[in-house]
Chain A
Amino acid sequence: MVTMEPIFTDSSAHPERLSGQLHTGRVRLVSDRQSDASFLIHHFLSFYLRARCKVWFLGLVQSFNHYSAVSQRLGVSLAQAKEKGQLVFLEGLKESLSVLIPQDTNTGSKAMDFLRDPAVGLKSLYEFVRSSVSSSGSRAEGAEEWGPLVLLVDDLSVLLSLGVSVGAVLDFSHYCRATVCSELQGNVVMLARCDGEEEEGDGDDEGSETLLKGLTHQCSLTLHVQGLPTGFCRDIHGQVEVCWRRRQGDGQSTQKKLFQYKVHDKGASFFAPGTSSAVL
């Protein structure tokens, strides 16, 4: 549950505001630098499930039980959603076992095949996403009608650690965008993480910085999570910089907004800088 402090009255500024109007065809990039933005992924997951959207979750870093436990706290049951067919979950860790420990009775999908040879790229992962997403779109009668499709990816940077090149990850995200946003009129939310300080200049070509820049060019909204520049604070856990890259239909002139956030037991709250309840 996302709570907004009452001081914050600009309704269009925060994408998580439950305005009841779900934009489609948007790509949102959640990124962090030396911080942990996974709370936003949990938030988006519960937000879209509560909004009765069809959610397709590509979970590469944590097990299903982890997300399930967190979502329980946020008031959403992932197991139930999965049963009803609202949530389709690719558990990357489990699937990768079939690649890493090959067995004869293996009938696993080809999704994680890139682990065998990362240089090949992520075409098989994309094909898995595509077939699953398209087939679930044309569900038989009698099934519940769900809202627009949402693809959540957690996270893309781990693919770099697994040996996949930056170009391959960017191609994968491009294809996901082309399929989910343009063809199926859905939304995409991706998480990408960065470890070091922002570097200028040539630096290393293959790295999380280049991936982040490439993904930023592809998306319409970025949410960049960082720690506070002044250091650790008990009441404010960090700041989120929201940046709109495409011009909005209503001609919004502001392109960047900075919020501070605090992660609670049951969600996160966002507020304008300096208006934390601990301060006022």
Chain B
Amino acid sequence: MLTELLQGTDAGGFLIIQDSASYSGRHLLKSFINAALHREEAVHVLGFEVSEEELKDGLIGASIHRLHFHNAYTDPLGWTHNPAFTVHQFCSEGVTQLVKQTSQSKPATLVIDSLSWILRHVGPPAVCKTLQQLRKGGAVRAIIGLLHADMHQRGTVGSVCHMATSVITVAPGMKGDEALAKITKRSKSGKVMQDEEIFSFKEDFTVVVQNRPSQLGLKQTETEERETDPTANLTFNLRLSDTEREAKEKLALPFVFSKEKKTALLHSGRGSGRILYEPDANDDYDQEDPDDDLDV
């Protein structure tokens, strides 16, 4: 499913890459940017977290001119005198204006690096409103955002991801250069598909999807050890010959209540001891009436 998403989000689509402190999702974000550039789309990046050189590092090719980096990294809060783009300019009018300035007639793909930066300064309701307006606006064809899930409360992450059409949560994989992606995709019909894939990167940011994690994982190959024969290598004989084994199996054990014993007890044969009992007056001892003179 990861490859399908890389091939192109649908128009009006909103993809979120969720990462954590243990694994950065920026590399996957760059793969998406790379894929969009190869599809000859104009890509606008709102860069808050990393500088332009760092983001463009590794993204080579003739199509790099279609990548427009809007510098919100050097001064996102307006602490210097002429900031390029501040976090407070993140509203649908501001972004639309920015995109229309440099783009051709075709709607562009907007990449936000990162949504966490914006959420820290602008509240979640405003961010969600802006994102929704941008999706409906028409200046932007698709939005891809990077979100650091461990930086916000679960409710905030949930609200923002709720607006997304696809969410990819990345985590470190078992081997060094592999990573695990949990993908949730909502189609227009309302169907939700989920998948888990293990992937790695090639030099040019293309993603190679390995087999699914269920196939890998803990292979509990318990090699059954052949039991060693305890009767070997002894100075005495513990083995049984065939006749001995037969006799052993025929033997009835003393305290096993077998069928033969049961019938023998129930139908006692003639000549066996019988017990005759005649009740004796002395045996009839009533605890509550020892002299047997109570008129009860």
Q: Is B13's CB within 8 Å of the partner chain A?
A: no
* Bound-complex Cα distance A123 to B153 (A): 26
Q: Is the CB of B176 within 8 A of A217?
A: no
Interface residues of B (CB under 8 A from A): 20-21, 24, 27, 49, 51, 53-54, 73-77, 79, 116, 120-121, 148, 150-151, 153-154, 172, 176-177, 201, 203
Residues from chain B with a CB closer than 8 A to the CB of A214 are 148, 151
Who on chain B is nearest to A122 by CB? B79
Q: Is A128's CB within 8 Å of the partner chain B?
A: no
* Bound-complex Cα distance A181 to B51 (A): 10
Q: Is the CB of B74 within 8 A of A182?
A: yes
Query: What's the least CB distance linking A173 to chain B, in Å?
Result: 12
Give chain A interface residues in 221-278, CB to chain B under 8 Å.
245-247, 251, 253-255
Residues from chain A with a CB closer than 8 A to the CB of B176 are 253-255
Q: Is A66's CB within 8 Å of the partner chain B?
A: no
* Bound-complex Cα distance A134 to B161 (A): 41
Q: Is the CB of B154 within 8 A of A202?
A: yes
Among A123, A174, A182, A216, point to the contact of B76 (Cβ < 8 A).
Answer: A174
Given contacts A217-B148, A246-B24, contact A178 B74 (CB under 8 A): yes
Q: Is A116's CB within 8 Å of the partner chain B?
A: no
* Bound-complex Cα distance A247 to B202 (A): 12
The 3 closest A-B pairs by CB, nearest first: A253-B176, A253-B177, A216-B21
Residues from chain A with a CB closer than 8 A to the CB of B151 are 210, 213-214, 217
Give chain A interface residues in 140-176, CB to chain B under 8 Å.
167, 170-171, 174-175
Q: Is A218's CB within 8 Å of the partner chain B?
A: yes
Who on chain A is nearest to B177 by CB? A253
* Bound-complex Cα distance A201 to B153 (A): 8
Q: Is the CB of B172 within 8 A of A255?
A: yes
Q: List 9 A-B contacts (CB under 8 A).
A: A175-B79, A178-B51, A178-B75, A182-B74, A213-B151, A216-B21, A217-B148, A245-B24, A253-B176
Q: Is the CB of B27 within 8 A of A247?
A: yes
Residues from chain B with a CB closer than 8 A to the CB of A167 are 120-121
* Bound-complex Cα distance A202 to B73 (A): 28
Q: Is A195's CB within 8 Å of the partner chain B?
A: no
Q: Is A5's CB within 8 Å of the partner chain B?
A: no
Q: Is the CB of A218 within 8 A of B49?
A: yes
Residues from chain A with a CB closer than 8 A to the CB of B120 are 167, 170
Among B21, B53, B76, B154, point to the contact of A217 (Cβ < 8 A).
Answer: B21
Q: Is the CB of B73 within 8 A of A182?
A: yes
Query: What's the least CB distance linking B263 to chain A, in Å?
Result: 68
Query: What's the least CB distance linking B179 to chain A, in Å?
Result: 10
Residues from chain B with a CB closer than 8 A to the CB of A213 are 20-21, 148, 150-151
